[in-house]
Structure 1
Amino acid sequence: MELRNRELNWAGNLEYRAKELVYPTSLAQLRNLVRAAKSVKVLGSRHSFNDIADTEELMISLAKMPEAIEIDEQAMAVRVSAGTAYGALADALQRAGYALHNLASLPHISVAGAVSTGTHGSGETHGNLATAVRAVELVLADGSQLSVKRGDEDFNGIVVGLGALGVLTHLTLDIGPSFEVEQTVYQDLSWDKVLEEFDTIQASAYSVSLFTDWSGEQVGQAWLKRRVGDALAEHIDQGRFGGFPATAALHPLPGADGGICSIQLGQAGSWSDRLAHFRMDFTPSAGDELQTEYLVPREHAVEAIQAIRSLSAAITPLLLVSEVRTIAADDLWLSGNYGRDGIALHFTWKPRQEAVEALLPRIEEALAPFAARPHWGKLFAATCAQLAGLYPKFNDFIALAQRLDPSGKFRNDFLDRTVFGA
C-alpha cells in the first residue's frame, strides 16, 4: 500500500522516503515481497535516530507477522519472532520461570532491531543483547531462507548485520533461570572519586549506569541494579564515592516523572521489571529527543570520560542527559565491543538536529585516540573511511554482504555511506 501522510521514526527527526509500506502476515508473503522487490528495507520499532532503515522503494514492517515465543526448556533457549518487543518476550519468559541475561534501557524495542545494531544494557560481565543469540533465520534477496547457528562459519558476521544481509524472521536466544533484582539510585556522586575507582564502582552491581550532564564536579545519578543474593556493595552505601541514596523514584532527566521508570528504592522484583530503565506499560517520553552513543575500550574509560567532560561547554547546552555504561567483549564482527571490553558514552540530545550534527565531529575527534565506535542506530558523523579501521572484520563483512546480497537489494544510503563506501 502507498504511504499515507508522513511516516516518521519514533523521535520524529526522520521522515521515511519509501514509496510503499507493506505489512506481510505470513512467511510466504514476506518471501514473495522480498523476491519481487528492487530495493527493500525492514522497519522495526522505529527507534533508530538515523536512516539505517530508510529506502526510496519498498519498506516492510513485521508488525503483523505471527508472533512466536517458543521456549525449549531442555536446550535453555527461546525462539522468538523478529518483530517481538523485548518487553513482551521478557514478560513471557518471566511467567515461565526464565530470564535473558540483560535488557536495554527501553523494553519497547524489537528483538531483531536491537540485535542487528548491537544494542546493549549494562554490566561489566554482560555482553550486548546480540551475544545471547544462538541462531538466526532470515529471508535472503532471492526469497530463499537461511538458518545459521552459533559456530557456523558466517554466524559472527550475520548477527549484528545492520539489515544489510536479509530480513530476519526469527532468532533463538540463550535463557537462564529467572532471578530477582533490587535497584537503588544514588545522587551526586563525586566525579573525582568515581574516576579514581572506576572499576570498583562498575563491579558494585549486576548493572551500573551513571547519568550526567557533564557539567560540574558531581555525577547526577548512579543506577545500581543488584541481583538479589549477590554480595552488597557496602562502599556505595557508606559514601565512599560521595552522594546519597535517593528517597523517591527518580527519572534520569531532572524533574521528569520517576513513576514511569523501573521500580527503585531497593525493592526487589523480577529481572524483567528491573533491568530496563523504563516500564513497558509507559512511553518514556514523547520522542522529542535525539541520541548518539560511542563505544570505547574499557582501558581508556577514564581518559575518554575526561575528554568528554572537557567539552562540557559545548555539549551541556544541547544535552538532556548522558549515560555511561559498561559492556563485555564479544566476537560479533560489527559489534561495538568486538574483541574488547568497553564502556558506552551515550548522549540524549535536545531536538536540535542541526546543532547536534555540527557538534558530533568535534566529539568524535576527541574520542578518536581511543578508537571509539558509534552505535549503528544513532546519530554519528563518521563514514566508512573512518569506520573501516575500527573493526578488524570490516572487510569480511563487506564480502559476506556481497555474497548473500550480490545485487545490493538491502543496501541504502546509510549503508553506502558507512559501510560500502559508494
Structure 2
Amino acid sequence: MTTTAELRNWAGNVSFGAEHLRRPQTVEQLQEVVGASSRIRALGSGHSFNRIADTTGDLVTVADLDATIEIDSATSTVLVGAGVRYGELGGALEHQGLALANLGSLPHITVGGATSTGTHGSGIGNRCLADQVVGIEMVRADGELVSVAAGDPAFGGSVLALGALGVTTRLRLSVKPSFQIRQDVWLDADLDAVLDDIDAVLGAGYSVSLFTEWHDRDRLDQIWIKGLADAPLVDGTRWGARPAAEAHHPIAGADASTATQQLGVPGPWIARLPHFRLEFTPSSGEEQQSEFFVAREHAAAAIAALRELELHPALMVCEVRTIAADDLWISPFHQRDTVALHFTWVDDDELVRPVVRQVEAALAGFDVRPHWGKVFEMAPDVVRAHYPRMDEFRALAAAHDPQRKFGNDFLESFVYD
C-alpha cells in the first residue's frame, strides 16, 4: 500500500520532500520495497522536529507489519515490532507483571523510531531507551534481513543509528519485574534554593522533571517527582515549594486531564513514568522542540545561564531531565552522565531560530550536544566533534548501505564524510 497525500511530521512544522509513503504489510514486502528503491527513509511516529527523517526518495513505515510482542521469561526479554508504540508494549508487559526500566514522556512514540534517535526519559540512574535494546533486526539496503545482538562488536553502533543502517523491523528489549510509582508535583520552588541543592533535587525520585516557563526568573514553576511507591516521601518545602492540590499540565493553563495520575496516587510504571496518557493526544501540535545536553556536573551552572536569557515570545515551556551515561557510539549521552535542557517553542521559525542560537551560545561553554531529532543551529563540525566513535559508525553505515540509499541532507551534514 502507498500513500501519496502531503506528508508532514506530528507537529506540522516539517513537510517531507518524499512523494510517497510506502506501507508494506509483511517483512518480505518491506525487503522488496527497500531492495528496489534508490533512495528511502524509515518514518516512525513523526515525532522529530527537524529533517532527520526527510528524503528525496520514498518514506516507508513499518506500522502495518505484524505488531509482535513476544515475552521470553527465560532471558527476561521481549521481542517487539519496531512500529509498536511504547504505551501498547507497556500495557502488554504490565499484564504479565513485567516492566521496562524507563519510558519517555510520551507513550505514543514507536519503539523503532525512539531508539534510533536517542529518545530518553529521566532519572539519574536511567539510561536512554536505546540502551534497553539487546538485539535488533533490520532490512539492509540490499533488501537482506539481518540481526545484530548485544556482544557483537558492531552492536554499539547498530541501535541508535539515525536510520542510516537500515529499516528496523523488530527489537529485543530487556525487561524487569513490574514496579509501582507515585507522582508528586511541587509548585513555585525558589530557583536559588534548587540550584544550591541541584543534585538532591534531580535525585529526589526514580524520575524527576523540572518545568519552568521563565516568566519569573527567581522561581521554578513545577517539580515532578516520580518516586518508587515504597520509597520515603520527599518534602519539596526544603526548596521553598508547595505541594500541588490538583493535577497539573507542564504548560500552565493546558488541560491537565491528558497528564498521567498525580497527587501521590501509586500506580504501575506504565501509567506514571510518561508525562501523558496514551488515550489522549498530549497537545495539538503546532509547536517546535529543541533539546540540549550537558554533563550533569554542570546542571546548576547551565540552568543559571538560561535564567539570563529572554526566551519569550518563542518559549512555551522549558523542562530539565537527567540521563545516565551509555556506550552507544553516537548517543548524545555517550560516556557522560547528562542533564537535558528541553524547550517547547511556538511554531514560528522567525521567532524560534534566533532564540535557539542564543541558547546554544549560552551553553557553548558546557560542551553542549544537541538532540539529533530536534531543532538546533549548531555547525556540523561542532556536532561531529562530540562523537569519538563517529568514524567507526561511518564505516558501519558504509558496510550496510554503500550507496547511501538511506541517506539524506541531514546525514550528509552531520554524519557522512
Which TM-score tier does this pair reach, normalised by the shorter chain?
over 0.9
Q: AA paired with 1:202? A: L
Q: AA paired with 2:351? A: A
Structure 1 residue corresponding to 2:370, chosen from 346, 349, 374? 374
Work out the CA distance in 2 between the residues paired with 1:266 and 1:281.
Answer: 21
8 Å Cα contact 1:323-1:347 kept in structure 2: yes
Which residue does the alignment assign to 1:139? 139
8 Å Cα contact 1:388-1:395 kept in structure 2: no
Work out the CA distance in 2 between the residues paired with 1:214 and 1:405.
Answer: 45
SS of the aligned residue for 2:59 comes to strand
- Tell me if 1:229 matches 2:227: no
Which residue does the alignment assign to 1:65? 65
Size of the aligned set, in residue pairs, is 416
Work out the CA distance in 1 between the residues paired with 2:176 and 2:2.
Answer: 43
Which residue does the alignment assign to 2:202? 202
State the Cα RMSD in Å.
1.1
Q: AA paired with 1:229? A: D
Q: AA paired with 2:42? A: V
Which residue does the alignment assign to 2:344? 348
SS of the aligned residue for 1:420 comes to coil
Structure 2 residue corresponding to 1:270, chosen from 268, 274, 278? 268
Which residue does the alignment assign to 1:363? 359
8 Å Cα contact 2:137-2:169 kept in structure 1: yes
Residue 362 of structure 1, CA deviation:
2.3
Deviations 1:161-220 (A, max 9, x none): 000111111110010000111101100011100000000111211110000123421101
1:94-109 to 2 correspondences below 5 Å: 94-109=94-109
1:104-123 to 2 correspondences below 5 Å: 104-123=104-123
Which residue does the alignment assign to 1:85? 85
SS of the aligned residue for 2:343 comes to strand
Work out the CA distance in 2 between the residues paired with 1:124 and 1:359.
Answer: 28
Q: AA paired with 1:93? A: L
Q: AA paired with 2:116? A: S
Identity of aligned residues (%): 47
SS of the aligned residue for 2:383 comes to helix
8 Å Cα contact 2:6-2:19 kept in structure 1: no
1:313-352 to 2 correspondences below 5 Å: 313=310, 315-352=311-348
8 Å Cα contact 1:140-1:146 kept in structure 2: yes
Which residue does the alignment assign to 1:241? 239
Which residue does the alignment assign to 2:151? 151
Work out the CA distance in 1 between the residues paired with 2:379 and 2:399.
Answer: 22
Residue 302 of structure 1, CA deviation:
1.1
8 Å Cα contact 2:4-2:21 kept in structure 1: no
When structure 1 is superposed on structure 2, of 387-396 and 276-285 the one drifting more is 387-396
Residue 232 of structure 1, CA deviation:
2.4
SS of the aligned residue for 1:362 comes to helix
Deviations 1:244-274 (A, max 9, x none): 1101110001011111100000001110100
8 Å Cα contact 2:181-2:226 kept in structure 1: yes
Which residue does the alignment assign to 1:412? 408
- Tell me if 1:76 matches 2:76: yes
Work out the CA distance in 1 between the residues paired with 2:207 and 2:293.
Answer: 17
Work out the CA distance in 2 between the residues paired with 1:225 and 1:130.
Answer: 21
Q: AA paired with 1:339? A: Q
TM-score scaled by length of structure 2: 0.98
Structure 2 residue corresponding to 1:301, chosen from 299, 302, 306? 299
Residue 317 of structure 1, CA deviation:
2.0
Residue 3 of structure 1, CA deviation:
4.7
SS of the aligned residue for 2:60 comes to strand
SS of the aligned residue for 1:316 comes to coil
Residue 2 of structure 1, CA deviation:
6.1
